[in-house]
């Protein structure tokens, strides 16, 4: 059996590796001229790290990831702790794998190397760059093929569109294509260790791996260490500016980011003062959940079918879950237990509603995180203190992940 995956991001490569381990021959088409992920830090929940470990990546991830001890919600002005989620060994024991912090590029490299490593089980994944998909043939019951800009044709028994929030495959199969603007953007940057560690106000960021969230009116900020405690990763979310709204991504002066957090907890102000003088700002857009991720022998994965806001830190983790479930479903087709169309319908049924709950929960967290000081904010903070959780979607439910039929937790590496 042969599969074609459009998009070589984290979701696409996870799916490729999951299919490879089931004996499926996979070709991945990437429109960029060379592989690589842009961005900075990444949070990977236990629901996703256990998938990565099942795929045999525990050993490769160990030197480039940090096991997160806790996730802390704080008040914008004082840094007072509002809620704390304890993770560390307890989370690993409960959910079968740890909560991880790592750099997006490091995870992408680990996935790519595993996909093309001839020593691993299954057919080596073929990855082709500079392949922009412009057409799709036979998306119904027959074997589909994609056509690239240069006229090349890549056929298989199934096609997976893992080509992001502006997915061309999604449009080609007639799935809902509207993308919504959240009204927010995120500044993302990595701050180097030396100055942060020398400053008595900020050096505590390197005490142990933890994610700290400061919540304020119309904005919040997330900070956590990555790459062996050599950097603090910053995600600073504010109302979107006109340039980023138009361009979607722009490099801007760090002074613009710092101005949004004047008067905040001194630790935030001092930390941002150590950033590079240019940072990248990204528009935060999303889709409304929809239930049907497939048509015939073509299916969608990751941001192509469930683009979500980062207020649960679950975008990449949900795409990784997609890859695991896709692997299980397509294996049934390879064994003749289901047709390809039935297998992809099962994949959609198992994942669409689940991911949709996370999408909606993340959207609801936007309003919850960004309350102005006042009665509603005080009620929220008191609820946080009492229950140590933020929304009606529990972290336990998210971290347990989509039930897997072939759950090999703890047998990675």
Q: Is residue 406 part of a domain?
A: no
Q: Is residue 281 part of a domain?
A: no
Q: Read off the pLDDT of each residue in 43-52 and give the average, rounded to a whole number.
A: 97
pLDDT band at 389 (very low <50, low <70, confident <90, very high): low
The residues assigned a catalytic role are 224
Which are the contacts of 327, defined by CB distance < 8 A and separation ≥ 6? Answer: 15, 18, 19, 21, 22
Task: Residue 276: name the closest of 248, 246, 256, 247 by CA.
Answer: 256
Helices (runs of H) and strands (runs of E) counted in the chain: 15, 20
pLDDT at 141: 62
Which residue range forms the structural domain that includes residue 149?
2-68+101-179+287-369+393-400
Q: Read off the pLDDT of each residue in 170-199 and give the average, rounded to a whole number.
A: 97
Q: Examine the pLDDT at 156 and tell me if it is beyond 60.
A: yes
Q: Examine the pLDDT at 413 and tell me if it is beyond 70.
A: no
pLDDT tens digits, one per residue of 8-42 = 999 999 999 999 999 999 999 999 988 876 778 99
Residue 216's region, left for phi above 0, alpha for psi from -120 to 50, else beta, is beta
pLDDT at 139: 59
Q: Read off the pLDDT of each residue in 235-244 and give the average, rounded to a whole number.
A: 97
Question: What CATH number is associated with residue 155?
Answer: 3.50.50.60
Q: Is residue 42 part of a domain?
A: yes
Q: Examine the pLDDT at 293 and tell me if it is beyond 50.
A: yes
The total number of structural domains that make up the chain: 1
Q: Are 95 and 44 in contact, with CB atoms under 8 Å apart?
A: no
Least confident segment among 59-63, 134-138, 266-270? 134-138
Q: Are 275 and 196 in contact, with CB atoms under 8 Å apart?
A: no
pLDDT at 411: 41
Q: Examine the pLDDT at 409 and tell me if it is beyond 80.
A: no
How far is the C-alpha of 224 from the C-alpha of 196, rounded, in Å? 12
Which are the contacts of 62, defined by CB distance < 8 A and separation ≥ 6? Answer: none
What DSSP character marks residue 371? Answer: P
pLDDT at 140: 60
pLDDT at 410: 39
Q: Is residue 346 part of a domain?
A: yes
Q: Read off the pLDDT of each residue in 255-265 and give the average, rounded to a whole number.
A: 98
Q: Read off the pLDDT of each residue in 64-92 and give the average, rounded to a whole number.
A: 95
Which are the contacts of 265, defined by CB distance < 8 A and separation ≥ 6? Answer: 74, 75, 76, 77, 78, 79, 214
Q: Is residue 211 part of a domain?
A: no
Q: Read off the pLDDT of each residue in 192-221 and give the average, rounded to a whole number.
A: 97
How far is the C-alpha of 27 from the C-alpha of 221, rounded, in Å? 39
Q: Is residue 357 part of a domain?
A: yes
Q: Examine the pLDDT at 146 and tell me if it is beyond 70.
A: yes
């Amino acid at each position: 059996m042969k599969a074609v995956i459009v998009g070589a991001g984290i979701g696409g490569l996870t799916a490729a590796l999951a299919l490879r381990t089931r004996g499926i021959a996979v070709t991945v088409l990437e429109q960029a001229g060379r592989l690589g992920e842009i961005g900075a830090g990444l949070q990977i929940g236990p629901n996703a790290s256990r998938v990565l470990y099942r795929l045999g990546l525990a050993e490769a991830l160990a030197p480039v990831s940090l096991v997160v001890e806790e996730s802390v919600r704080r008040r914008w002005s004082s840094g007072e702790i509002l809620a704390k989620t304890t993770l560390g060994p307890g989370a690993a024991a409960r959910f079968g794998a740890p909560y991880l912090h790592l750099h997006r590029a490091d995870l992408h490299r680990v996935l790519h190397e595993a996909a093309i490593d001839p020593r691993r089980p299954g057919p080596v994944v073929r990855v082709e760059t500079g392949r922009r998909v412009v057409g799709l043939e036979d998306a119904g019951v027959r074997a589909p093929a994609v056509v690239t800009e240069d006229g090349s044709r890549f056929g298989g028994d199934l096609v997976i569109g893992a080509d992001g929030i502006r997915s061309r495959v999604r449009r080609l199969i007639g799935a809902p294509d509207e993308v919504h603007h959240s009204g927010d953007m995120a500044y993302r940057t990595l701050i180097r260790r030396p100055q942060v560690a020398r400053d008595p106000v900020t050096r505590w960021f390197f005490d142990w791996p933890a994610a700290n969230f400061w919540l304020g009116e119309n904005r919040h900020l997330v900070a956590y260490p990555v790459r062996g405690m050599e950097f603090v990763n910053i995600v600073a979310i504010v109302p979107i500016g006109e340039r980023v709204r138009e361009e979607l991504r722009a490099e801007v002066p760090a002074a613009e980011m710092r101005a949004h957090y004047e008067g905040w907890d001194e630790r935030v102000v001092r930390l941002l003062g150590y950033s590079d003088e240019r940072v990248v700002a990204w528009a935060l857009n999303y889709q409304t959940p929809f239930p049907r991720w497939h048509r015939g022998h073509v299916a969608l994965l990751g941001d192509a079918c469930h683009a979500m806001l980062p207020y649960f830190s679950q975008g990449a983790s949900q795409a990784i879950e997609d890859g695991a479930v896709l692997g299980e479903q397509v294996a049934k087709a390879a064994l003749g237990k289901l047709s390809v169309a039935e297998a992809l319908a099962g994949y959609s049924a198992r994942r669409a509603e689940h991911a949709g709950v996370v999408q909606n929960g993340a959207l609801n967290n936007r309003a919850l995180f960004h309350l102005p000081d006042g009665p509603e904010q005080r009620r929220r903070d008191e609820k946080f203190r009492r229950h140590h959780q933020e929304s009606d979607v529990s972290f336990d439910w998210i971290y347990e992940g989509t039930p897997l039929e072939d759950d090999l937790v703890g047998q990675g590496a």
